[in-house]
Amino acid sequence: MAVVRYIAGRLVFLIPQIIGIVLVSFLLIKAVPGDPATLMLGPMATPHTIAELRAQLGLDKPLPVQFLIYVDKLAHGNLGTSWQTTQPVLDDLRTRFPATLELVTYGLLLALAIGIPLGVASALGKRGPLAKLGGFYGLVAGALPDFWLALILIYIFYSLLGWVASPIGRIDVTVTPPHMITGFYTLDSILTGNWAALRSSVHHLILPVLTLGLVNAGPILKMTQATMERMLEADFSLYGRLCGLPEKLVIRRAFRNALPSVITIVSVLYGFLIGGAVLIEIVFSWGGAGQYAVQGVLNSDFNPVLGFVIFSALFSLVVYLIVDLVYLAIDPRIRH
């Protein structure tokens, strides 16, 4: 029951945070110059039609009223319409957000698969060549521009070697996307038994996931290495060795204690990458949520940007909540 109370307490905090985020993004977006009505109607529009459209969109009302109208619509699940796609933002995000999530999730899984083993190996190897390699990799991965790495990988694996599919979109143009259940093309293909779609979507996922994985393995590696080193020198490890525990067991215990820091950095990366994978989405024409928001900002299309910010903020907060629950599960000290 304490767990339920804890969750309830965190959820209560969620509402004022969301309102704060919505307020700031609303003010920011409204400050962007560019009149949506003029942009929607084009250069041939008469002042009369522009004024009519503005009234229809509610753009002539004072700002606080506009904000309250927006919040009211939000409470009813209406995120407005994007004038670029002429679809409701909620529908747009329902296809685009899972696209970004799929990309980011697989990318982070790859980053974990690279970063954690290398980090642990570097920590065990102290001053040896592996530690130096780990340090070097961490620094270089943080210095590489991810969009540039994506282009280099495209050049090597597509233009030169022809090993991967054309880097445009999530799936081959000739293949129909699977029936949407989760929004993840890979999962949906498996769930509906659509093997052509599965092959095609995996083929298209290879390069962007590789880019994200290589770049984000850096911070994970650094954090794992630093924390493992600290844990291996901590009192409990010393005690274990003095008691005659085999080194393998000591390492395993140390790793278990290093996990919270690693989980923290994964959660931070997760929240960051929802918006941070934008450049990779643009390079690969992924059709993801970040790309959607960027197009919105550059074209004075407010609703997608607001919708994206709210989605991504909600997502970050949910991730942090889940992470805290995971802490509760793996760290017995917190429970008491």
Partner 1 sequence: MRAVPLTPLGRPATLAGRHPVGARAKFATRYFLRLLRTRPSYAVGYAIVAVVVLVAIAAPLISPYSPITADPTVYLQGPSLAHPFGTDNTGMDVLSRVIYAPRIDLTIAVIGTALSAIIGTFLGAWVGYFQGTSGIRNITSVTTMRAADVLQAFPVFVFAIALVAVFGQSTTTIIFAIAFVNIPIYLRLMRSQVLSIRQMRYVEAAFVSGMPDRWIVRDHIVPNAIGPVLAQLSVNIGWSILLTAGLSFVGAGVRAPTPEWGSMIATGFPNVMTGQWWPSAFPGLALAVTVYGFALIGTSIEFMADPRRRRTLAAAEMSA
Q: Which residues bind partner 1 (CB under 8 A)?
A: 17, 20-21, 24-25, 28-29, 31-34, 139-140, 142-145, 147-149, 151-152, 154-155, 158-160, 166-167, 272, 274-276, 278-279, 282-283, 290, 293-294, 297-298, 300, 305, 308-309, 312-313, 316-317
What is the nearest approach in angstroms of partner 1 to the Cβ of residue 157?
11
Q: Closest CB to partner 1 among 228 and 278? A: 278
d(CA 261, CA 227): 7
CA distances in angstroms from 221 to 16, 139, 147, 255, 297, listed in the order given: 35, 10, 21, 13, 34
Q: What is the separation of C-alpha 114 from the centre of its chain, rounded to a whole number of angstroms?
A: 18
- Closer residue to partner 1 in complex, CB, 25/201: 25
Q: What share of the chain is helix, strand, coil (3-state, %, to 5)?
A: 75, 0, 20
Q: For tokens 């923290």, what's the residue?
A: 264
**H helices then E strands: how many in the chain?**
15, 0
**Minimum separation from the CB atom of position 308 to partner 1 (A):** 7
Taking the least distance from each CB to partner 1, the nearer of 80 and 167 is 167
Cα–Cα distance between 108 and 217 in angstroms, integer? 8
- Which of 148/236 has CB closer to partner 1? 148
Q: How far apart are CA 298 and CA 228, in angstroms?
A: 44
DSSP of 11-38, one letter per residue? HHHHHHHHHHHHHHHHHHHHHS---HHH
For the CB of residue 147, give the shortest distance to partner 1 in the complex, in Å.
6
Closest approach of partner 1 to the CB of residue 48, in Å: 28
Q: Which is nearer to partner 1, 161 or 242 (CB)?
A: 161
Could you tell me the smallest distance in angstroms from the CB atom of residue 220 to partner 1?
Answer: 16
